[in-house]
Amino acid sequence: MYDYIIVGAGSAGCTLASRLSEDSQTSVLLLEAGGKDNEQKIHIPAAFSQLFKTSYDWEYYTEEEPGMVNRKMYWPRGKVLGGSSSINAMIYIRGHRHDYDSWREAGNEGWGYSDALPYFKKSENQERGPGEYHGVGGPLNVADLRYVNPLSRAFVAACLETGMPANDDFNGAVNEGAGIFQTTQKNGSRWSTVNAYLKPALSRPNLTVRPQTQVARIVIETGRAVGVALLVNGQVETVRARREVLLCGGAINSPQILMLSGVGPAEHLKEMGIEVIVDLPGVGENLQDHLAAGASYQSTQPVSLADVQKPANLLNYLFFKKGPFTSTIAEAGAFIKTRSDAPAPDIQYHFAPTFFKAHGFEPVEGHGFTIAPTLLHPSSRGSIRLRSNDPTAHAAIRANYFTTEEDVQVMLAGMKMAHEIAHTRAFAPFLGPESEPGSWKRSDSETIQAIRASAETLYHPVGTCKMGNDALAVVDTQLRVRGVDGLRVIDASIMPTVVGCNTNAPTIMIAEKAADLIKHPSTVKQAEEVA
């Protein structure tokens, strides 16, 4: 028996396992369906997309998406120690102050920006040094890129030419503007939550880690979570928890496991042949994700990442941890408002000094670059549902992308600005013909149709076990599941609304705060009352 059982060793799970096991009197079991992070490509930054559709990826697909010409869209998610922090593009972004303040204004006390900032700083080792918005000495190393492609420099200059401000710190006082991203890397290699949190804790005798372990359901007795049922060699094994079960499976797996455990929309559970323990209609609802489209152009100069695989580049990386192999692919970006009255940016640009089509699975010959507007605050909502009561079956994902006119118009504005950026003086030395989606100088309707046919996920699903106090709320502000004692959800699924940025750093922040809520509930509560 363990004090705490953590389900899922991703960004949140590794963080929790480290923080909770700091107390030598507390026993922790960390469970992960995937294996160890011993594949070399995990640690080479520029190789991240080569991990897609491998054994390190859950390889999810949505149902047919009506707003995206009925495509079944591919969703990579990390199935490995470190979760998606082991296969992502390592961009370190926290989001806008308004993202968190809107959570607090919706009734989630203790989750405003001023509440979140101390946990961002606690987690961080900022290589630039400490400051009002940054911490040093934390587990998560945050570094400037060791390699920046000249096309990425041109992108930043082009954005400034259109009137955007320069921003060399998207995580400082101001979120808007254009600049080069910082990354979760150390010495030119990926710095996942395994490196940051888990490996330093593995020597602790009170922490047990079980990879390659599939969770079937949470065991709930008389209204309390008392353990976890596992599938081991075709048999069910139960491990029990003295204090709590902490569900850290992410926006797809966490609601799936809750529903398999009898916690969720009653009618749906009955249809799946699952006994209803708690009728909680919000489980699996409120799904949000960032949709990204790509405006791609050929480069007239051979300076892109098309030649990254050259032996000289590989040797430079292996011996010195420098050069193009340290690239995150999406090296630069910008945050803009498409409406002057927007409270925060509604478009984020990811700039890649290469072609990046269909997650990298459709290579384009030659040198080029991609300017990708990303829809930050979608008004459309999707859902996660069970296909069956088989815990090994993938859930049914309905993202409902592009099903509201508001989302369509914001993305259209973002694509138009992408073309304006491409046709500045800064890009003149590089700009060749457009490659994708071929919407320059088209009508609005043709551009929208091109986006529907080509846009993809930016890998940020959230919201399916939302925090709040309304009818669809699944957890309270302590991240406790409503109607079940001894059970919390701690991951990106608790976000009431998606933050306007890449979601890895915010997920780690959520876990850092949750660890304090668990270890020091009275202290956290007093701090919130003072604030």
Nearest residue to 460 via CA among 269, 265, 330, 306: 330
460 is a catalytic site residue = yes
DSSP state of 29: E
- Do β-strands 263-264 and 207-210 pair in parallel, antiparallel, or remain unpaired? unpaired
DSSP state of 288: B
Q: Give the per-residue pLDDT at 40.
A: 95
Nearest residue to 497 via CA among 290, 281, 246, 254: 290
Q: Give the per-residue pLDDT at 521.
A: 81
Q: Give CA–CA dist 373/294, Å, rounded.
A: 7
Q: Give CA–CA dist 96/471, Å, rounded.
A: 27
Question: Which tokens is 471 given?
Answer: 């009818």
Q: Give CA–CA dist 386/261, Å, rounded.
A: 12
User: At 266, phi and psi to the nearest 5?
Assistant: -60, -45
Q: What would the pLDDT profile of 443-470 be if each residue is shown by its tens digit?
A: 899 999 999 999 999 999 999 999 999 9
pTM beyond cutoff 0.95: yes
Q: What would the pLDDT profile of 304-350 be if each residue is shown by its tens digit?
A: 999 898 999 999 999 999 999 999 999 999 999 999 999 999 999 99
Q: Where residue 442 falls among pLDDT bands split at 50, 70, 90?
A: confident
Predicted confidence (pLDDT) at residue 526 exceeds the cutoff of 60: no
Predicted confidence (pLDDT) at residue 524 exceeds the cutoff of 80: no
Q: Give the per-residue pLDDT at 357.
A: 87
Fill in the amino acid letter for 104.
R
Taking residues 406-417, report their average pLDDT. Answer: 97
Q: Give the per-residue pLDDT at 527.
A: 46
Q: Give CA–CA dist 131/418, Å, rounded.
A: 33
Predicted confidence (pLDDT) at residue 94 exceeds the cutoff of 80: yes
Range with the lowest mean pLDDT among 188-192, 333-337, 360-364, 447-451? 360-364
Domains of the chain, start order: 146-180+291-375+402-454 (3.30.410.40)
DSSP state of 395: P
Q: Give CA–CA dist 34/381, Å, rounded.
A: 29
Predicted confidence (pLDDT) at residue 394 exceeds the cutoff of 90: yes
Question: Which tokens is 4 given?
Answer: 């705490």
Instruction: Considering only residues 436 and 432, tell me which one the structure prediction assigns the higher pLDDT.
Output: 432
Cβ neighbours of 470 (radius 10 Å)? 11
- Do β-strands 71-75 and 124-126 pair in parallel, antiparallel, or remain unpaired? unpaired
- Do β-strands 368-375 and 347-352 pair in parallel, antiparallel, or remain unpaired? antiparallel
Burial label, 147 (beta-carbon count in 10 A; 0-12, 13-18, 19+): buried
Q: Give the per-residue pLDDT at 523.
A: 60
How many C-alpha atoms does 171 have within 13 Å on its Cβ side? 29
Q: What would the pLDDT profile of 133-182 be if each residue is shown by its tens digit?
A: 999 999 999 999 999 999 999 999 999 999 999 999 999 999 999 999 99
**Which member of 96, 350, 377, 460 is catalytic?**
460
Q: Give CA–CA dist 217/224, Å, rounded.
A: 13
Instruction: Considering only residues 244 and 524, tell me which one the structure prediction assigns the higher pLDDT.
Output: 244
Alpha-carbon torsion 439, 441, 442, 445, what sign?
A: positive
Fill in the amino acid letter for 161.
E
Taking residues 486-505, report their average pLDDT. Answer: 98
Cβ neighbours of 526 (radius 10 Å)? 11
Cβ neighbours of 281 (radius 10 Å)? 15
Q: Give the per-residue pLDDT at 438.
A: 61
Quickly tell me which residue has 């909770």 as its tokens.
20
Q: What would the pLDDT profile of 40-87 be if each residue is shown by its tens digit?
A: 999 999 999 999 999 999 999 999 999 999 999 999 999 999 999 999
Predicted confidence (pLDDT) at residue 529 exceeds the cutoff of 60: no
Q: Where residue 530 falls among pLDDT bands split at 50, 70, 90?
A: very low
The residue ranges of DSSP E strands in 418-479, in sequence order, are 431-436, 456-457
Predicted confidence (pLDDT) at residue 436 exceeds the cutoff of 90: no
Taking residues 491-496, report their average pLDDT. Answer: 98
Q: Where residue 234 falls among pLDDT bands split at 50, 70, 90?
A: confident
Adjacent-strand bridge partners of 237: 230
CA angle 142, 143, 147 (to 5 degrees): 150
Taking residues 475-491, report their average pLDDT. Answer: 98
Q: Give CA–CA dist 8/493, Å, rounded.
A: 13
Adjacent-strand bridge partners of 4: 28, 244
Distance of CA 441 to the CA centre of its chain: 34
Cβ neighbours of 233 (radius 10 Å)? 5
Q: Give the per-residue pLDDT at 437.
A: 65
DSSP state of 323: S
The residue ranges of DSSP E strands in 66-181, in sequence order, are 71-75, 124-126, 140-144, 177-180
Q: What would the pLDDT profile of 196-223 be if each residue is shown by its tens digit?
A: 999 999 999 999 999 999 999 999 999 9
User: At 396, phi and psi to the nearest 5?
Assistant: -90, 120
Return the C-alpha torsion angle 323, 329, 335, 338, nearest 10.
Answer: 140
Chain mean pLDDT for the chain: 95
Nearest residue to 402 via CA among 462, 455, 351: 455
